[in-house]
Chain A
Amino acid sequence: MKERYFSTFQLFLLALFAALIVVAKIALHLPLQLSGHSGIFWMAIIIVAARVVPKRGAASLVGLTSGIMAAFLGLGDLGGLNTLLSYTMAGIGADLGLLLLRDPENYACAMLAGMFGHLCKFIVKWIFGMAAGAPVGFVVLGLAKALVGYIVFGALGGLLGALTLAALRKAGFFTYLLEKK
């Protein structure tokens, strides 16, 4: 049989991680009054997915699938297209970050990858503002406060991802995964 890039188990696992992102986004409300705070869980799950399925494109696939789900469930303020693109870009950003930084179990690497992924989501919002023809100054002023939130929560999400991976390793999760392909 033809060798597949992602095995069926990996594909299903990534799809379920995407569902987990959407569920966490809906069910968990942290009382932190700054935009982008849901990125803590979001980026954490993406970082975990990138390590659990250690192949290029795993984080992007999780981002794309969760984007499609979020668009169908009507999440996000700027409509389905923005939701789809921003979730997808968060995954692609994390993938690119990990391509350069390599080790998602390293706290610093995970934080940087999380921050980069979350920033990519922010860039989609910025591009939407620009595409609408709004003057650059207004867009920058309007999104400046949000930018800080996106950087901080992206980094915290990456940290949470690395902490989760460390706990999973300690619990023998990766040995369990070796039996499943």
Chain B
Amino acid sequence: MNLNSTYGMTHAMRIIESSPIRKADPRTKLALCLCASLAVMLPLGKIIFFAIIYVIFLLWARLLPEAARQAWKLKWILGVLFLVDWLVISLDLAVVVTLRLLLMAGVFAMFFSTTTPSELCLALVWLRVPYRYAFSISLSFQTVSSIDTEWRGILEAQRARGAFEAPKGWRYIVEQVRNLVSLTVPAVVLTARRAWSMTEAAYARGFESPHRTAFNRLSMRAIDWAILAGAGMVAAAIIIWR
């Protein structure tokens, strides 16, 4: 699902609905990502084994294109680092460093591309984060589109007035930074006004009510237990294998 319509931005959230782990509990995915990120500590043989298992998992979860997109962003860094490591030190180190960087970059793509902000909010509440804080995080997602529109409006208005011109180089940089105040001041004022309207609306709907009940609840399903069992078996195999 492309949440472009919801968030209305150039950088839309990419939630992959076709993935089998889309329906998994966010707590399971979070645990899986945290465990997978520990794999960066593994030595060469084990990290190659883990990488193969991880790619098979991504293939099954239909998330390989997403992980590849993330890896593609790193192509130059990885390429240069691999060559320099190989030429100066050894091929083993080059492979280990490349795999570790790829894992670190891609491992949380699994969570962020299959979880919505409201599901994250539920997971945070389960993790004992106070509801007010979890709600404020989901609120920031809900308002990002309106703030984006507002921001572009300010940009156009100030350009039309001749009050803002993007810095063009390093000459007179401090003066140029001074010009940027024409963007930040209206943005901060409008943001404060919006925050106040939202506070009033939230109070009107009983935001601080002591007897609040949740509309959606998290529940572990068969797929969650299966994923956790699979991850446990892979971890056991890596620990036992010498």
Q: Which residues of A contact B (CB under 8 A)?
A: 1, 4, 8-9, 11-20, 22-24, 26-32, 40-41, 44-45, 48, 52, 61, 65-66, 68-69, 71-75, 77-82, 84, 128, 131-135, 138, 142, 156, 159-161, 163-164, 167-168, 171, 173, 176-177, 180
Contacts and interface: CB of A to CB of B under 8 A. Distances in A.
B187 interface: yes
B112 interface: yes
A55 to B, nearest CB: 14
20 contacts: A11-B133, A15-B136, A19-B147, A20-B191, A28-B166, A30-B167, A31-B169, A77-B74, A78-B105, A79-B70, A132-B40, A132-B101, A132-B104, A133-B96, A134-B97, A163-B181, A168-B185, A173-B189, A177-B192, A180-B196
Nearest to A33: B169
Q: Is the interface of A mostly helix, strand, loop or mixed?
A: helix
Given A4-B132, A131-B104, A65 B112 contact: no
Contacts of A24: 151, 187
A52 B188 contact: yes
Contacts of B141: 19, 69, 72
Nearest to A27: B151
Which 6 residue pairs spanning A and B have beta carbons closest together? A80-B108, A79-B105, A15-B136, A13-B195, A15-B140, A132-B100
Given A48-B184, A74-B112, A9 B177 contact: no
Contacts of B173: 156
B100 A133 contact: yes
B49 to A, nearest CB: 17
Contact of A27 (B106, B152, B168, B170): B152
B61 interface: no
A81 B207 CA distance: 31
Interface of B: 9-14, 33, 37, 40, 70, 73-74, 77, 80-81, 84-85, 88-89, 93, 96-97, 100-101, 104-109, 111-112, 117, 120, 132-133, 136-137, 139-141, 143-144, 147-148, 151-152, 155, 166-170, 173-174, 177-178, 180-181, 183-185, 187-189, 191-192, 194-196, 198-199, 202-203, 207-208
Contact of A31 (B96, B112, B167): B167
A26 B10 CA distance: 8
Contact of B111 (A80, A134, A135, A173): A80
Contacts of B133: 11, 61
A82 B108 CA distance: 9
Given A73-B11, A80-B111, A163-B178, 6 more contacts: A8-B203, A14-B136, A19-B144, A74-B70, A79-B109, A161-B184
Contacts of A71: 108, 112
A27 B14 CA distance: 18
Nearest to B187: A20
A133 B195 CA distance: 44
B166 to A, nearest CB: 5
Contact of B144 (A9, A69, A176): A69
Contacts of B11: 26, 73-75
Given A81-B107, A133-B93, A134-B97, A19 B184 contact: no
A22 B7 CA distance: 12
